[in-house]
Structure 1
């Protein structure tokens, strides 16, 4: 137990150090973490660490999907639902069939094994592509489509995976039955996930205690995921539906104290889960190399290269027709959602990183069939899956930034970012005006002293004056200078409060209350801070 805890501490230290290095060299943390895991696995004396598939599928995946669902805008998800379904269902099935055909005819894998491998490597990851895309300032719609696809495609892939495993183990498969089962899973999990979200919000609202509410929020994704998964579903769709329901309805049911503390807790949980997941994924290289000795090296390399080419080409072959053909034959769709730029479509097609869910599915393959024979090509599937993850992650992480610059897609995101900030300023200004109008109505209905009314109006004036009139760089520099000075003044207050505590003039409890107010003010500065946008 002590040795395992020491390894856990080493992983945390490597996670923190790699994150700092990634920030220093402006690299994608996921790539460095994966490479660090590979390097750490071959350190002399380091024990081999197997990544339990149930750890990923039952423990790690639910909070990742749930948090992404809560962060997702339901309005934007609904607007892009057609595109998301085409990618998360259509593209996954198309890629699985493409991999099955290629590996059957060029490598000689049986159709069932090829389709199983296709189902494993077909779904792009939800974590790594977004981490890469957000650093590049891509347009919002690209991020929404990639995130929506990453949320939903695991359900399709895991369902296909289970059908393939059953078909290989028993030799039985029925397409109509599989299609009906998949439709029932989708409908049932959407309803169940929404019900869990509805119940979770009401239970948390009644608790009226931030610690209890945050604890319940950590339980929620497992309730949404485990129950459908136990009864033969995927659990993914239910968790996505639960997260989207809470995203849309949560602001009216979750208290401010819970929200402030919950954001910190969830950010830390997701940061640790994602980082350790990529590290442990890299760790699997050592055991995979040991298992690969049963196959000729050139066969393994050929299989990895072939599958990588197929998943990349299949994504392009699906994305472009799926984008343009429906608009060509549907005038109403074309009017509601005009043809996107080929550059935007190219970025979406290029960003197809495979992740830990694929590796977990490969690791979860049984060792033997129902008749006691060894599961066919299990080790080859494992090695090919890891190779696809490594190549797509590193290739996309290194190739996407120059590609985005070459295509000029980031300029659209830049313009969209400016428009979003201007809309935010206007929304804040209108909200303050609405609150001031409400104050006038309250003043007319109630007998309030002049001092109270004057104090409330002064609060609104201060908040209104903090809003920039424009995003013009020169005026923004003035605002930034004021923010920097305010931070210095807060720091001066902190030092003085510490002196008072040291001299025994105030208690620790008093110091904590004052510090909390200063922390909230500083956090408010960070939230209001408008970074200079190069024009």
Structure 2
């Protein structure tokens, strides 16, 4: 494929991603499912197609996506829900993979246990991108968001490690449970150690991280450093990326300046937007590849294999969650954590939450990239057992969950009424704002009492007036939120009118600056500086309900 053709494909992909995002925003349909269908549609057209390179995906696409998700996650919240996160991301992946392997060994003619476990390892880990994008729009409770995030961060490491063990066994060396457990423990522990080494290795660079451009460069390089270190040590590079991202994300407020955080967050949002879009387009475009090799199999064999794979993917997850949540309440309390006030809590899930989490198990590009890493031939030179059948089953599982569950996830959440208490969240944010403003006023009092020669009393008075005005506004907003009923944020006409007024003033300032620029009274460089000031001022304005 020529460079010009590749460039056209990339530009076409970007155009489709933007168009699908526009459609998704206006229809409420998940962009991931729409992009996958668009990829299938393109794959059926004549012309050049893009075949998924698994090593390229695992090396260049997976690390930044996982790292960005880890930065966006809460290490504190994951620790508070660690029992459920480990249950979903480790134990459930292992159970799903083994059950698919046993099903293939018993019911699929000619299939082996190791080959079935390899397929199970590939399709066991859900890809949370689609579920999270929909879940945030419909207002899922923070606890469910945390569980989906935490599971998605850790399950890939479990699955890829198990896949390596299963492929080795399928090539003729036999499947040894003790050896598999030992290899898994070493890979996981080594991945955690590599991630911590990278996270703390970045700390001496915190002076550089205060510069926005340097901070961006370091942030973009970090996931690849963590992944390559893990792979070089023959441990889980995926887990190294996740651990590094969680630790760095937790400590970033101490290390970086506000300007660096604003710019780095913007860069990562763009990286996520483009990489996720391209990933889902690639999933759909693999249809011809996975269909091509099915001619050698009987229809009954294909149907049996597909039924086992999709059945386990859809049924094992809710059954596992029902089983684990039916444990005695004492175990839940003992394995629970502490809330923000230090009180003990039980992390038992309700039936509605179990249904929502079960339907959030959409599979994605990791499943396809993993199954595409299966070698064409074994070390002995023989074809890898049932490789084409395994590819088809993995693609079908991804398609059924990504499109079927993805399109129905939002209606299911709305029907169950499983949504966050928005008023309670807004109250907590405003209480934190009040505490921060009071801390600022206290610091001003301290500085004034210490009588610094370089501190002007008029400057202190100005800052005090600004903070006092904010404090009054936050307290008024909190009073309004206290009247909220049913978890909805009450509409305050005065509050909304004030926001409209402030935005109108900023818009008028922008228009005047543009008139100055167009009249050659203000150079473009000066315009950009002043626009940036207004942009930051506008960015501080809260959206409705914050």
TM-score bracket, shorter-length normalisation: over 0.9
In structure 2, what is the equivalent of residue 82 of structure 1?
Answer: 83
Write the distance in 2 (CA, Å) between the matches of 1:507 and 1:346.
59
In structure 1, runs of 5+ residues without a counterpart are none
My pick for the range that moved more, 138-147 or 318-327, is 318-327
Instruction: Spell out, residue by residue over 1:384-438, the C-alpha distance to the aligned partner (whole angstroms, 9 max, x if none).
Output: 101000001122123323322333322xx1x2x2211101101101110111011
Instruction: Spell out, residue by residue over 1:39-67, the C-alpha distance to the aligned partner (whole angstroms, 9 max, x if none).
Output: 111223x2121010012111111111111
In structure 2, what is the equivalent of residue 429 of structure 1?
Answer: 434
Aligned counterpart for 1:419 among listed residues 396, 416, 424: 424
Aligned counterpart for 1:449 among listed residues 452, 456, 471: 456
SS across alignment from 1:222 = helix
Query: What is the Cα deviation at residue 465 of structure 1?
Result: 4.4
Superposed, which structure 2 residues align to 1:258-407 within 5 Å? 258-297=260-299, 299-325=301-327, 327=329, 332-333=334-335, 336-337=345-346, 339-407=348-416
Query: What is the Cα deviation at residue 78 of structure 1?
Result: 0.5
Query: What is the Cα deviation at residue 326 of structure 1?
Result: 5.3
Query: What is the Cα deviation at residue 200 of structure 1?
Result: 1.6
1:490 aligns with 2:506: yes
* C-alpha contact 2:332 2:346 (8 A) present in aligned 1: no
Instruction: Spell out, residue by residue over 1:221-258, the C-alpha distance to the aligned partner (whole angstroms, 9 max, x if none).
Output: 11111221233222121111111111221101011111
Write the distance in 1 (CA, Å) between the matches of 2:155 and 2:41.
30
* C-alpha contact 1:96 1:115 (8 A) present in aligned 2: yes
SS across alignment from 2:521 = coil
Write the distance in 2 (CA, Å) between the matches of 1:372 and 1:188.
32
Instruction: Note closer, same or farther for the CA distance 1:330–1:508 as it changes in structure 2 (3 Å cut).
Output: closer
Write the distance in 2 (CA, Å) between the matches of 1:59 and 1:37.
20
Write the distance in 2 (CA, Å) between the matches of 1:465 and 1:423.
16
Query: What is the Cα deviation at residue 307 of structure 1?
Result: 1.2
Query: What is the Cα deviation at residue 474 of structure 1?
Result: 6.1
Write the distance in 2 (CA, Å) between the matches of 1:376 and 1:111.
11
In structure 2, runs of 5+ residues without a counterpart are 337-343
Aligned counterpart for 1:128 among listed residues 127, 130, 138: 130
My pick for the range that moved more, 61-70 or 228-237, is 228-237
SS across alignment from 1:50 = coil
Instruction: Note closer, same or farther for the CA distance 1:331–1:130 as it changes in structure 2 (3 Å cut).
Output: closer
In structure 2, what is the equivalent of residue 440 of structure 1?
Answer: 445
Query: What is the Cα deviation at residue 377 of structure 1?
Result: 0.7
Aligned counterpart for 1:515 among listed residues 511, 517, 531: 531
Write the distance in 2 (CA, Å) between the matches of 1:74 and 1:228.
21
Instruction: Spell out, residue by residue over 1:462-485, the C-alpha distance to the aligned partner (whole angstroms, 9 max, x if none).
Output: 433443242356652322222122
Write the distance in 2 (CA, Å) between the matches of 1:466 and 1:239.
42
* C-alpha contact 1:53 1:360 (8 A) present in aligned 2: yes
SS across alignment from 2:126 = coil
* C-alpha contact 1:353 1:393 (8 A) present in aligned 2: yes
* C-alpha contact 2:448 2:457 (8 A) present in aligned 1: no
* C-alpha contact 2:33 2:407 (8 A) present in aligned 1: no
1:163 aligns with 2:165: yes
* C-alpha contact 1:126 1:146 (8 A) present in aligned 2: yes
Instruction: Spell out, residue by residue over 1:111-166, the C-alpha distance to the aligned partner (whole angstroms, 9 max, x if none).
Output: 11111111111111131221222222111111111110111011111111000111
* C-alpha contact 2:332 2:347 (8 A) present in aligned 1: no
SS across alignment from 1:432 = helix
Write the distance in 2 (CA, Å) between the matches of 1:158 and 1:207.
32
Write the distance in 2 (CA, Å) between the matches of 1:204 and 1:126.
31
1:478 aligns with 2:491: no
* C-alpha contact 2:128 2:361 (8 A) present in aligned 1: no
Query: What is the Cα deviation at residue 328 of structure 1?
Result: 5.2
Instruction: Note closer, same or farther for the CA distance 1:422–1:509 as it changes in structure 2 (3 Å cut).
Output: same
In structure 1, what is the equivalent of residue 339 of structure 2?
Answer: none
1:181 aligns with 2:186: no
Instruction: Note closer, same or farther for the CA distance 1:331–1:200 as it changes in structure 2 (3 Å cut).
Output: closer
Instruction: Note closer, same or farther for the CA distance 1:339–1:172 as it changes in structure 2 (3 Å cut).
Output: closer
Write the distance in 2 (CA, Å) between the matches of 1:402 and 1:522.
34
Q: How many residues align?
A: 525
In structure 2, what is the equivalent of residue 409 of structure 1?
Answer: 418
Instruction: Note closer, same or farther for the CA distance 1:461–1:328 as it changes in structure 2 (3 Å cut).
Output: closer
Superposed, which structure 2 residues align to 1:15-94 within 5 Å? 15-44=17-46, 46-94=47-95
Instruction: Note closer, same or farther for the CA distance 1:13–1:331 as it changes in structure 2 (3 Å cut).
Output: closer
| TM-score for the superposition, normalised by structure 2 | 0.92
My pick for the range that moved more, 279-288 or 344-353, is 344-353
Query: What is the Cα deviation at residue 338 of structure 1?
Result: 5.6
Write the distance in 2 (CA, Å) between the matches of 1:383 and 1:474.
51
Superposed, which structure 2 residues align to 1:80-229 within 5 Å? 80-108=81-109, 109-206=111-208, 208-229=210-231
* C-alpha contact 2:210 2:255 (8 A) present in aligned 1: no
Aligned counterpart for 2:544 among listed residues 503, 527, 530: 530
Query: What is the Cα deviation at residue 207 of structure 1?
Result: 5.3
Write the distance in 1 (CA, Å) between the matches of 2:127 and 2:271.
18
Query: What is the Cα deviation at residue 287 of structure 1?
Result: 2.2
* C-alpha contact 1:66 1:243 (8 A) present in aligned 2: yes
* C-alpha contact 1:189 1:228 (8 A) present in aligned 2: yes
Query: What is the Cα deviation at residue 333 of structure 1?
Result: 4.0
My pick for the range that moved more, 428-437 or 464-473, is 464-473
